[in-house]
Amino acid sequence: MNLDGVEVLATPNERAARILSDDALRFVARLHRELEPSRRDLLSRRQARWEALRDRELPDFLPETSDVRAGDWRVPPAPPDLADRRVEITGPVDRKMMINALNSGARCFMADFEDANAPTWQNCIDGQINLIDAAERTLTFETPDRTYRLGDRTATVLVRPRGWHLVEKHVTVDGDPVSASLFDAGLFVWHCAQTLLERGTGPYLYLPKLESHWEARLWNEAFVLVQEELGMPIGTIRATVLIETILAAFEMDEILFELGPHATALNAGRWDYIFSVIKKLGTRDGFVLPDRSQVTMTAPFMRAYTQLLVRTCHARGAHAIGGMAAFIPSRRDREVNAIALAKVTEDKERESSDGFDGTWVAHPDLVPIAMGVFDEALGPAPNQLERMPDAGSVLASELLDTRIPGGVVTEAGLRANVEVAIRYLDSWLGGVGAAAINNLMEDAATAEIARSQVWQWLHHEVRLQGEGTVTRGLVGQILSEESAAALDAPNKGNVELAASLLADTLFDENFVEFLTIPAYEHLP
């Protein structure tokens, strides 16, 4: 269909028609026309900054925004249903998963169009329908054995749209694909905001992959435009920003400031953060990371990052939300459970003692564990906003201290990265963006860490523990072996394409910015 310069390239169907009314499409088109030039400019700035980091610069706090960091200002108080965020569960906008997450006992649920969602046209449209049904409390899911429906008390919904770097290829405005960020967020607010407000909640968002306060400013401009268009007071939309890039870590104050009345919280998106460190700085000596399993939250650069996040949030009256516990409890292996759940508990205890106001889990069975830890830390209080980390100011050098004592690169770690990247990409190409692999709920962020580490080790010709070097021949051999192993597994329909796409990124002389960009061309 074509409507006033807006063209929907996907095959029409009733489900899409429910979402893409003429008025909704005109609304998305207005967002695109007013904001697309700024989005493109910001993406160009990203590339220029990346080139500078490869050549000569290191990230630092911005001298031109020192007055913002030194200023005495605070974000608006959180809405009542975002005052207590002690446990949040995340997951894709899949109907059954949404019901289980909303009923999990977590305070909040992040409905994810981004890293945990394979953005097929059907997934994105169905996700919007599921959000409408959740807002109207009519969300159900039928199987031959069971009917899933919402309980009396459900988690508060926050929606994560896709990042500024992505487009929705199935919808064009004046011949150009629309920003996936504006498509996802705009349709959610268009369809759900009024219903949510009538229920005493609101249109709440998680903002991914920001690299600068300029990108936060663009989101603020989008929010103002949306609220004016829909007749909502400015500040109705509330946003939590994932600090999941090394550059955003140096601009936390500025990001909150630029969001103005819409700012609510920052989240430690730690897996994407590790990926970002490798992507932005990984070609340089001194930033080679060891096996993924050794890059933990106790690493100096990760400790500095989380301490700065809590300090920044609490100085500004914003919530600090901790990172993901991705373990999937096994109902058959008690030993695996015992070891993993002890690590989950330790991780959540560290976050609560550091001053975080809440944390993330990926599976409903982890909600009681995380809840118990934060209940003990918070007591009857909804959060610990008044608490500041004991450490003093965090220095730029500490955020860049990627040394990990005893860290090594092993052939087992190399093989594990290749396995995860192939198996996840196979799942993603099949339309499933949250994949259970080796008792972990993997999403695009962990696949990006896996493939970026292999690229970095190849680039630096890293020595393996014991003997040998990471070479193109060795990586090619492991890639072939892990592809063959994946082909022996069930649901193997996309393994060969996954291996081919992965090889293209691993053996490209230049680092491919996001694995999901070339892979998106293969999604329906």
The 3-state secondary structure of 263-328, one letter per residue: EEEEEECHHHHHHHHHHHHCCCCCCCCCCHHHCCCCCHHHHHHHHHHHHHHHHHCCEEEEEEECEC
Query: Catalytic amino acids?
Result: 160, 443
Mean pLDDT of 331-345: 88
Mean pLDDT of 361-367: 96
Q: How many CB atoms lie within 10 A of CB 174?
A: 13
Question: pLDDT tens digits for 167-179?
Answer: 999 999 999 999 9
Question: pLDDT tens digits for 396-449?
Answer: 999 999 999 999 999 999 999 999 999 999 999 999 999 999 889 999 999 999
**Is the confidence at residue 490, as pLDDT, over 70?**
no
The residues of the chain that CATH labels 1.20.1220.12 are: 411-520
Which residues face 91 on adjacent strands? 111
- Which tokens go with 511? 């680092």
Mean pLDDT of 17-22: 95
pTM of this prediction?
A: 0.97
Question: pLDDT tens digits for 492-505?
Answer: 679 999 999 999 99
Q: How confident is the model at residue 393 (pLDDT cuts 50, 70, 90)?
A: confident
Please state, in angstroms and rounded to a whole number, the distance separating the CA atoms of residues 240 and 357.
Answer: 13
- Residue 2: what pLDDT? 73
Please state, in angstroms and rounded to a whole number, the distance separating the CA atoms of residues 201 and 198.
Answer: 7
Distance of CA 392 to the CA centre of its chain: 29
Question: pLDDT tens digits for 67-107?
Answer: 999 999 999 999 999 999 999 999 999 999 999 999 999 99
**Where are the strands (E) in 98-245, listed by range?**
108-112, 140-142, 147-149, 156-160, 167-173, 176-179, 204-207, 238-243
**Is the confidence at residue 389, as pLDDT, over 80?**
no
Output the CA angle 83-86-92, nearest 5 degrees: 100
- Residue 331: what pLDDT? 74
- Residue 334: what pLDDT? 86
Q: In the chain, pLDDT over 90 holds for what percent of residues?
A: 92
- Residue 55: what pLDDT? 80
- Residue 492: what pLDDT? 62
Distance of CA 305 to the CA centre of its chain: 17
Please tell me the CATH code under which domain 411-520 is placed: 1.20.1220.12
Q: In the chain, pLDDT over 70 holds for what percent of residues?
A: 99
Mean pLDDT of 246-256: 98
Contacts of 386 (CB under 8 A, 6+ apart): 314
**Is the confidence at residue 217, as pLDDT, over 90?**
yes
Contacts of residues 305-308 at CB distance under 8 Å and 24 or more positions apart, as own/partner, are 305/243, 305/249, 305/268, 305/270, 305/273, 305/399, 306/268, 306/270, 306/351, 306/354, 306/356, 307/354, 307/389, 307/391, 307/394, 308/249, 308/252, 308/394, 308/399
- Residue 260: what pLDDT? 97
Cα–Cα distances in angstroms (integers) from residue 175 to residues 2, 6, 168, 171, in the given order:
11, 8, 12, 9
In one letter, which amino acid is 324?
Answer: M
The residues of the chain that CATH labels 3.20.20.360 are: 2-396
Residues making up the chain, counted from first to last: 524
**Is the confidence at residue 489, as pLDDT, over 70?**
no
Distance of CA 368 to the CA centre of its chain: 23
Q: Is residue 471 packed enough to be buried (19+ CB in 10 Å), middle (13-18) or exposed (0-12)?
A: middle
Please state, in angstroms and rounded to a whole number, the distance separating the CA atoms of residues 185 and 203.
Answer: 9
The per-residue pLDDT of the chain, averaged, comes to 96
Cα–Cα distances in angstroms (integers) from residue 105 to residues 99, 141, 193, 237, 327, in the given order:
11, 19, 23, 24, 18
Beta carbons of 39 and 218 less than 8 angstroms apart: yes
> Which residue, chain included where needed, has tokens 């989008």?
222
Question: pLDDT tens digits for 399-413?
Answer: 999 999 999 999 999
Please tell me the CATH code under which domain 2-396 is placed: 3.20.20.360
Question: pLDDT tens digits for 21-32?
Answer: 999 999 999 999
Mean pLDDT of 115-122: 98
